Amino acid sequence: MRIPITERLKTAAEMIGQATVLCDIGCDHGYLPIYLAEKGQIQRAYACDLRDGPLKTAANNITAYHLKDRIQTVKSDGLHELSEFSFDVISICGMGGRLIAEIIERDLDIAGRAKKLVLQPMSEIPVLRKFLSENGFLITEERLALEDRRFYVLMTVEKGEEIYRDELDYVIGRRLFMHPDALTRDYLSKEIRRFSEILTARGGRDKAPEIDRILEELKKIEENRI
Ligand SMILES: C[S@@+](CC[C@H](N)C(=O)[O-])C[C@H]1O[C@@H](n2cnc3c(N)ncnc32)[C@H](O)[C@@H]1O
C-alpha cells in the first residue's frame, strides 16, 4: 500500500536520513514515521501529538501499515512527555516557526538530547532562525521543497554555535543558497519579487530601509552565487 506522503515530508525524510529512534512532534496522520519505517530508515518512532483526533488517525494508519511494534503514539504537548524516552532525532514539521521555537524553548534540555532536529516551519522562519542561534543550536543545512506551487523551507539543526553577522541573515537564510539549483533560483526570484512589492507598499527605500537592505542582499546573492 502506497504511503500518501507529500514532497515536503519526503524532503524531511531525506534530511532525517538514518535514525535509530525518531520522535515526530505534531505527527497528525503519522505518515512521516510510517514512511521512514517502511523504507528502513528508522528502527522505531514515537508519533506524538497534542490532540486525540490526530493520534487516533495516526494509530489507525500505523495499524494499517502493520507497524504497531515499531511506532508508538504518544499524547504530548510538544516535547513534554519525552523526558524518559531515548531517541536520536526529533522532527517538527508543518507548524508555525514561532510555535516550533516555543516547543523547543519549553523543553530545551529534551531538545538538546537529540543528535539532530529536522524542522519545517510554515511561517515566521526568521523568528525560528533567531531563536535557534540564541539558544545554542546550529542550523547545519537548509533545503527547499516545492508542493502545489508553494515553497517550503526545511532545516537540519544540531547543538552548536551559530554566528550571524547581521539581523538580516535571519530573514535571508543564506544556507538555502549554498547549493544552487533550479529550485533555489526560482525561490530567490520569488523572494526578490515579494520584497520588491513590500518595499513599494511601504513607500520606497527611504521609508523602509530595512526592506531595501534585504532586497539588495538578495539581488547580490542572485548576481554572485547563482
Ligand atoms: C498541520 S499538522 C502537521 C502534520 C505533519 N507534521 C505534517 O507536517 O504534515 C500540525 C499538527 O501539530 C499538532 N500540534 C499542534 N501544536 C502541538 C503541540 N504543542 N504539541 C504537539 N502537537 C501539536 C496538531 O494537532 C496537528 O496534528
Q: Structure pTM?
A: 0.96
On the question of pLDDT at 226 being above 60, the answer is no
Which cell numbers hold the place of 49?
Answer: 501529538
Listed in sequence order, the residues at least 6 apart from 178 whose beta carbon sits closer than 8 Å to its beta carbon are none
Residue 139 CA to residue 220 CA, distance in Å, equals 22
> Chain-wide mean pLDDT for the chain?
95
Give pLDDT, residue 199: 95
Which cell numbers hold the place of 79?
Answer: 516535547
Indicate whether residue 220 lines ligand 1 (CB < 6 A): no
Under the banding of pLDDT at 50, 70 and 90, the label for residue 103 is very high
Give pLDDT, residue 188: 95
Indicate whether residue 25 lines ligand 1 (CB < 6 A): yes
Under the banding of pLDDT at 50, 70 and 90, the label for residue 162 is confident
The ligand 1 atom at the shortest distance from the C-alpha of residue 91 is 6
Least confident piece of the model among 50-59, 76-85, 164-173, 194-203: 164-173
Indicate whether residue 30 lines ligand 1 (CB < 6 A): no
Task: Report how far apart, in Å, the C-alpha atoms of 104 and of each of 4, 55, 91, 97, 160 are.
Answer: 28, 21, 11, 11, 15
Indicate whether residue 28 lines ligand 1 (CB < 6 A): yes
Give pLDDT, residue 2: 86
The ligand 1 atom at the shortest distance from the C-alpha of residue 24 is 6
Listed in sequence order, the residues at least 6 apart from 199 whose beta carbon sits closer than 8 Å to its beta carbon are 205, 208, 211, 212, 215
Beta-bridge partner residues of 21: 44
On the question of pLDDT at 175 being above 90, the answer is yes
Beta-bridge partner residues of 154: 143
Instruction: State pLDDT tens for residues 56-99.
Output: 999 999 999 999 999 999 999 999 999 999 999 999 999 999 99
The alpha carbon dihedral of 57, 80, 22, 43 has a sign of: negative
Indicate whether residue 81 lines ligand 1 (CB < 6 A): no
Are 115 and 156 spatial neighbours (Cβ–Cβ below 8 Å)? no
Give pLDDT, residue 225: 61
Indicate whether residue 3 lines ligand 1 (CB < 6 A): no
Amino acid at 200: T
On the question of pLDDT at 216 being above 90, the answer is yes
Give pLDDT, residue 193: 96
Residue 120 CA to residue 1 CA, distance in Å, equals 26
Nearest CA to ligand 1 atom 23: 26
Report how far ligand 1's centroid is from the alpha carbon of 138 (Å).
Answer: 23
Indicate whether residue 107 lines ligand 1 (CB < 6 A): no
